[in-house]
Amino acid sequence: MFSSSGLAVGLASYWLGASTALELRETSIERLSLYQSNLLGELDKYRYLPFVLSGNEDVKDLLTTFSNDTFFANKVSRYLAETNNKAEANVLYIMDKQGNTLASSNWQEDTSFVGYNYSFRPYFQDAIEGREGRFFAIGTISDIPGFFMSHPVYENNSIIGATVVKVNLTPLQQQWNDGGENVLITDDNGIIFLASKKEWLYKSLREISDVQLQKLKRIKQYGDSTFEILSTDKTGIAGDIATEVDGKKYLETIQSIENTNWKIHYLVSIGSITENQRKIVAIGIGVMITLLVLALFIRERRQKVISTRRALEAEKMEDINQQLEIEIEERRRTEKELRAAQDGLVQAGKLAALGQMSAAIAYEINQPIAAIQNNVLNCGSFLKEDKDCDLDQSLTEISSLTEKMGVITGQLKNFARKSSLKIKPTDIGKAINKASHLVQPVFKTQGINVLINVAAEKMLIAGDETRLEQVFVNLYRNAIDAMQGMNGVKVVHVEASIIGDRVNVIVSDTGTGFEDHVLSKLYDPFFTTKSNNESLGLGLSITYGIIKDLKGEIHASNNSDGGASFVLSFPRYIEK
């Protein structure tokens, strides 16, 4: 964030600097034009004076007939002084063909030009050669810098002398200085001959060749000046170039002055630019510091909030963990209790089933007992009559009947035994058959046909044999009850098959089927529609619990042609 705001501050300060520089540049150009026209206006004011003077008859007479007449010369000088008073030029004077000053507006002053020869001045040369002269120089007598303008004086088409006006430009310099402006004018040598700052005067912006120096000396243009170089180093600033003069930086704008070989320079201090930039940087730094402090404050606040929140969350988490541990413990205990209860229920269910089946079982056992009794009686007779063969047969029959009873009681013992869940690969077909053997006596007494359709291959599930037997005993028993007292064919049909990775069993009967309200409560413990004392309403809830323990499903429905069906489905156990 800070580097980008730093960049923004930098860009802003650069942009502001650049726009300030641009503004200054535009203002400079305007000022330059103004100063240039000031200067030109000042010079123009006197431009026609030499021309006007050159046509004056007295001037011509002075240059011809009265060139040695001091009285006449003074008359002309007086005239020049009067004219100068009106015109407010610096000096007006008349030179003869040799460059001698014959009359001058300052003839009565100490610095009078009269008697002096100025033939060395270029403006004199120009006039004598028929041109208008224009020349800036420091006065050799007055030491006052001025601009000289000359004009030839003609008599019968020949040049007899020159009229000259010297314009003092010092007031102009003073004006610039008073206005606090930095203005300077350089000649074709780069010499500063007009400047708002005195210390810049007669310094040169560049090296002057010896030839030029000699010429300057000869024409005495700038007196005894040595033309020290004013160093003007250039440096880049805010997309512009700064000129460094005397250790100060300026934005320098230069224009050529029309009809001359001069250049006017306008220098504006770039303090305003750097000041602007400094202000912006200061503001920027201020903003950055504020942002930094703000960001630190926000960060600290946020960290405080975060750490408080984290502490609260940690506390909460600890609470939740404790709560969870309590709940887990609770669930474990409940599960244990439930399992014990379920085991109890299973046991109760088994005993209930045994109770219900007891009559049929008793009948089943009574039969062989009676047969044994019969055979025992027969054995006695056969012994007496030495019928060894018959005796042998009777004893074999007794033995087989005893064995049959043993099987029945063994199955009952097994079934009634209290056992807890033991999951191992179990063949569901075996459980189906074993259960039907157990219930066989009841099927028989009730005249029920049991059709078991089980695949020849093993149908393994992760199960518990005894529990599975119980499932099928319960389903058979319910089927028996549902078909009790019904006319027609009584059939219990059991079909088991492997479908994909599942083992499915359908147990259907031809009994009463379910009434609608029964279906929704089928697996509720203690739900029964039976009025006899043995029906506890536990059979299906126990069945449901066992099937769920074995990761299986049970679904009851009415058959379309009457009777009920239970569809059981278990995940198939695949031996590795």
Q: Write out the residues near ligand ADP by the rule CB under 6 A.
A: 474, 478-479, 482, 509, 511-514, 518, 522, 527-530, 535-541, 564
Decide whether 515 or 575 has the Cβ nearer to ligand ADP.
515
What's the first-to-final CA gap in the chain, in angstroms?
A: 64
Decide whether 60 or 493 has the Cβ nearer to ligand ADP.
493
Rounded least distance, CB 535 to ligand ADP, Å: 3
Q: Are 159 and 133 in contact (CB under 8 A)?
A: no
Decide whether 54 or 543 has the Cβ nearer to ligand ADP.
543
Decide whether 163 or 356 has the Cβ nearer to ligand ADP.
356
Q: Which two tokens stand for residue 39?
A: 């200067």
Rounded least distance, CB 344 to ligand ADP, Å: 16
Give me the phi and psi of 410, to 5 degrees please: -60, -45
Q: Are 180 and 165 in contact (CB under 8 A)?
A: no
Alpha helix segments (H runs only) across 55-89: 57-63, 70-87
Decide whether 122 or 525 has the Cβ nearer to ligand ADP.
525
Q: Are 420 and 546 in contact (CB under 8 A)?
A: no
- Tell me the C-alpha to C-alpha distance, in Å, between residue 212 and each of 193, 310, 389, 482: 16, 88, 171, 142
Rounded least distance, CB 483 to ligand ADP, Å: 8
| Closest residue to ligand ADP using C-beta atoms | 539
Count how many Cα atoms sit within 13 Å of the Cα of residue 30 in the half-sphere of its side chain: 6
Rounded least distance, CB 559 to ligand ADP, Å: 10
Closest by Cα among 528, 494, 568 to 352 = 528
Task: Report how many helices (DSSP H) and strands (DSSP E) the chain contains, helices first.
Answer: 12, 18
Under 8 Å CB-to-CB from 233, ≥6 apart: which residues?
243, 244
Under 8 Å CB-to-CB from 152, ≥6 apart: which residues?
54, 127, 128, 130, 131, 159, 161, 162
Decide whether 28 or 535 has the Cβ nearer to ligand ADP.
535
Rounded least distance, CB 434 to ligand ADP, Å: 19
Beta bridge partners of 167: 147
Rounded least distance, CB 426 to ligand ADP, Å: 22
Where do we find the tokens 């400094």? 278
Q: Which two tokens stand for residue 11?
A: 């860009």
Rounded least distance, CB 454 to ligand ADP, Å: 20
Where do we find the tokens 């039969």? 367
Q: Which two tokens stand for residue 236?
A: 């880049």
Decide whether 464 or 481 has the Cβ nearer to ligand ADP.
481
Decide whether 62 or 542 has the Cβ nearer to ligand ADP.
542
Rounded least distance, CB 352 to ligand ADP, Å: 7
Q: Which two tokens stand for residue 343?
A: 């085991």
Decide whether 152 or 513 has the Cβ nearer to ligand ADP.
513
Rounded least distance, CB 381 to ligand ADP, Å: 48
Q: Which two tokens stand for residue 237?
A: 């600033």
